[in-house]
Each structure stands twice: as structure tokens, then as C-alpha cells.
Amino acid sequence: MSIALLTAYGIIIFAACIFFFFVTVSNIFWLVHTQSIEPKESGPSVAVLVPARNEALRIRPCLDSLLKQNYRSYQIYVIDDNSTDETWEILKSYMQRYPRKFKAFRAEPLPEGWYGKPHALQELSGHVEEEYMLCTDADTVHKPDSIGRAIAVAERYKADLVTGYVHHVMPTFAEASVEPSIYILTMLAMPLYLIPLVKSSKISHAIGQFMLFRRAFFEKIGGYEPVRKQATEDVKMANIVKQQGGRIAFVDLRMSVECRMYNDYRGAIQGIAKNAYDYLGKNTLFLFLGTVAVPLVFFVPIIVWFINIPWLGPAVPFLKASAILTLYTWILEAIDRRLPAYVPFIYPLIFVNALSALWSGYRQVRKEGGVEWKGRKVI
């Protein structure tokens, strides 16, 4: 390879890492800024919607936290999505104890052409009369200000959808080696501060663990019906909100909500496989390009720090600088998201696991008819 090409390779990788660094820093500043919004204690009525499928081991902390909100005008609606464990018995006990604040329903059998979560939320939304709807997962735990903070954000930005990053709890190394991959998009490409300012649906993002909709707008776009068969229904909903002229505010919710998404390595890989491959539009070309690009951008710069590769010649200084910059980027992300302290030092493993999950999703969709998730196939 010529000196000119090697130099160009080094410069391009270094420039890319500078870009990633500044995207990450700008997003951190934005998220920190959104923490300054004071939560409200009164305002428009809010319906909290919780879909629950086989959540008997995790739903109590979620419900208990939602029942302790400082916000005055809200109602909790939970739907048992055809669980095979004790979820319904738990929900019945909460209805008996909190009849004025808590309502529970049993979902109809999953119809053809729908995935479980979109169908459960669509069915549950039919029982709602409140002005806002907060869709949140059964494995989340809320601080007393979570509803009030979301309403304050909605009013500040005149948002039809409020969403954001909650605090993701990762107590084991197995989880921490996979789950930080959910931040890769906003570390590399997505400027969160532009989401409420730009009309383009390409500048949008959402996290399904916390999505506050203005109900009138939710009904205008057909609720979850347009994403009835989408694994990444949250991201697709954000696209639709923008396409229909709505506004989105993506903010920092880590001080108000926490979630432990998975319990082990296999569950984390399967969960990322379900979402990440769908996020790529199940596009094999994008998957292949990503598999080639990640080693060139992130692995080779690390390797040259430890192994002398003479033929890389003029690219080496740029690649070493790129490795340092990427490490700093992950350190900042770990501090901001309160990730385990060792996460920045295992970021190559996080990328390896992300690619592994993507290829697992590809294999399961192409050869097994879909990714297995909570006893159902997600294509």
C-alpha cells in the first residue's frame, strides 16, 4: 500500500474519532442541561401505561415506585400480555389495594400482524382519557419526580413526545460488556440537541423504557398501529412523530428512572440482537459495511499501540492518537451515564459483542424465522 494511501487512512480515522468525540461531548452538555428543568407537582392529567409479560419477578418495584409519585394528577394502567407466570395475580392484588389509582387489564390473544409490546400498548391506550400518556416498561423503577419531570419537559419544549436515557443498571461484567452498545448511536452520529429543533425525521431517537405522548397527537398518528410489527417500535414511533409534524424532546432521565434491562450475557445479546438488526432495517449491506468499518476505525488503532506493524508506517501516529481519543470518549460517556468504571477499558469488547448480536439477529431472522423473545418470534 502506498504512503499516500496509508497517510489518508490514518487521517480519515483520526478525523472520524474527533467527530465522534465532539458529538459525544455536545450530547453530554445537552443531557446535563436538561437535568436543570424543575419537575412539576401539578398540571395536565397523565396516564401511565405499563405492558407486562411474564414480569412476576420484576414488576412490584416498578408499580411501587409509580404509586409514590409527587405529581398529583395521574392514573396507572397495566396490561397483562398473556403471561404464563404469576403476573396477573400480582396485578389483581394491586387493584384491590389501590382501587382509585391502579387499573389492570388482560390483553386479548396476540392477533396476526402484531408484535406483543405494540399490541399491548395499543390495547391499553383504548382505556385512557388523560391528556398525556407515559408508556414505560415493567422493569423500570421511578423516583418520585419522574412524571413531574416529563411533564415539565413537555411544556418547556412544547413536545408531543418526551423520551430519553434512563439510568441503566449493569451490576455484572457480562451485562457491562454488552449493554453500553445502546449508547453507540448517540456517541457516533446522533446530535440529541437537534432533535427538538429540526423537523427532519432522520434526526430523531427514542427509548421505549420511557415515552411520554400528548394523547391527542398519539391518536392523530394512529397510536402504535403504524409500528404494529416493528421490533424497534420506539425508534420507529419517533420517526413517525417527526414525519407527522410533531416535536420530540430527548432528555436525561437518569436521575428519575432506572432499569436493569437484562440479567445475564445471553439475555443481553438476545435483547440487542432483537433490536439492533431491526434498527439497520434488516439490511445485509449495512451489516457487512459495519462489520468492516468497526475494526478499521476502532480495533486497528488499539492494535498498533501494542504491536509494531511496520507496513502501516505513516498511519501509525494518527491511529495511536485515534485510540487515545476513543478512550477519552468512552471515559466521558461512562462518567455521564454512570457506567461501571472499567467500561472505557473494554470498549473493544463492547463493539465485538454488538457485532456478535447483530450477526446473531441476522442468523435468527434468516434461518430460524425470527429472534426468540419472551416466548414469541420477532422477525
- Are residue 243 and residue 293 in the same domain, yes or no? no
- Are residue 98 and residue 246 in the same domain, yes or no? yes
- Are residue 37 and residue 170 in the same domain, yes or no? yes
**For position 274, what pLDDT does the model report?**
85
pLDDT, tens digit, for every residue of 38-76?
Answer: 999 999 999 999 999 999 999 999 999 999 999 999 999
- Are residue 272 and residue 368 in the same domain, yes or no? yes
**For position 280, what pLDDT does the model report?**
83
- Are residue 243 and residue 131 in the same domain, yes or no? yes
* Residue 250, beta-bridge partner list: 163
- Are residue 148 and residue 98 in the same domain, yes or no? yes
* Predicted TM-score of the model (pTM): 0.94
- Are residue 121 and residue 204 in the same domain, yes or no? yes
Q: How far apart are CA 16 and CA 120, in angstroms?
A: 41
Last residue within a domain, chosen from 217, 240, 262:
262
Write down the residue that cell numbers 404509586 correspond to.
67
CATH at 98: 3.90.550.10
Residue 178 lies in domain: 31-262
- Are residue 71 and residue 193 in the same domain, yes or no? yes
Handedness of CA 261, 89, 143, 136 (dihedral sign): positive
Using an 8 Å Cβ cutoff, are 45 and 74 in contact? yes
3 state DSSP class of 378: strand
Q: How far apart are CA 40 and CA 145, in angstroms?
A: 8
- Are residue 22 and residue 39 in the same domain, yes or no? no
**Count of domains for the chain:** 2
Centre a 10 Å sphere on the Cβ of residue 306 and count the other Cβ atoms it contains.
Answer: 7
**For position 372, what pLDDT does the model report?**
82
Cell of 262: 437484562
- Are residue 21 and residue 44 in the same domain, yes or no? no
Residues of the chain with pLDDT under 70: 1
**For position 136, what pLDDT does the model report?**
98
Last residue within a domain, chosen from 244, 262, 280:
262
Last residue within a domain, chosen from 234, 262, 290:
262
Sort 367 into a burial class: Cβ within 10 Å, 0-12 / 13-18 / 19+.
Answer: exposed
Beta strands in 155-247 (DSSP E): 161-165, 167-168, 210-214
Q: List own/partner pairs for 84-90 with CB under 8 A and 24 or more apart.
A: 84/54, 84/375, 85/54, 85/55, 85/56, 85/57, 86/56, 87/52, 87/53, 87/54, 87/55, 87/56, 87/59, 90/56, 90/59, 90/60
Using an 8 Å Cβ cutoff, are 268 and 356 in contact? no
- Are residue 276 and residue 214 in the same domain, yes or no? no
**For position 365, what pLDDT does the model report?**
87
**For position 1, what pLDDT does the model report?**
62
- Are residue 156 and residue 237 in the same domain, yes or no? yes
- The set of residues, in sequence order, having a beta carbon less than 8 Å from that of 320 and lying 6+ positions away, is 301, 304, 305
